[in-house]
Amino acid sequence: MRWMPFLTAMVVLGGPLAEAATLEELKSELRRTETAFAKTMADRDQAAFASFLASETVFFGRDVLRGKTAVVDAWKRFYEGAAAPFSWAPDSAEVLDSGELGFTSGPVFDPSGKRVGTFNSVWRREQDGRWRIVFDKGCPPCDCSVAPKP
């Protein structure tokens, strides 16, 4: 019966989520996941891109894309051709204390390296231990030194 406290902790803490040692390790893991997700664009690998999406993912853009299939279909055009039309990289990653949800954000660049936007993604750590995107929204960069008009 010496294993009962461990089994109870696994049930109470949610199984695989309890296996992560620290919040800092989870944040690092999430940052690496976002970096690997971005690499799918550079590698021109749409199948790999799709593997990072939750089945119920929502992407915000000109239209709201609901579900993995809709996102994969809409993003197909970005994976066509030899050169990537844009790239991105995380400059921040944060994770809830529960380890179940995370947030990444960072710059989006055009092919010349000019910053053209900022991405914001919400990730969920699923039962298999993998991070998958549930919400994604990009926005153009702003000149924050300019005061908004009253």
Average pLDDT over residues 84-107: 97
pTM: 0.80
Nearest Cα neighbor of 95 from 121, 117, 127 is: 121
Alpha carbons 100 and 43: distance in angstroms, whole number: 28
Confidence of residue 145 (pLDDT cuts 50, 70, 90): low
Among 87, 125, 124, smallest CA distance to 106 is for 87
Instruction: Classify residue 77 by its DSSP letter.
Output: G
pLDDT average, residue stretch 5-19: 43
147 band by pLDDT with thresholds 50, 70 and 90: low
The CATH-assigned architecture of domain 16-139 is Roll (3.10)
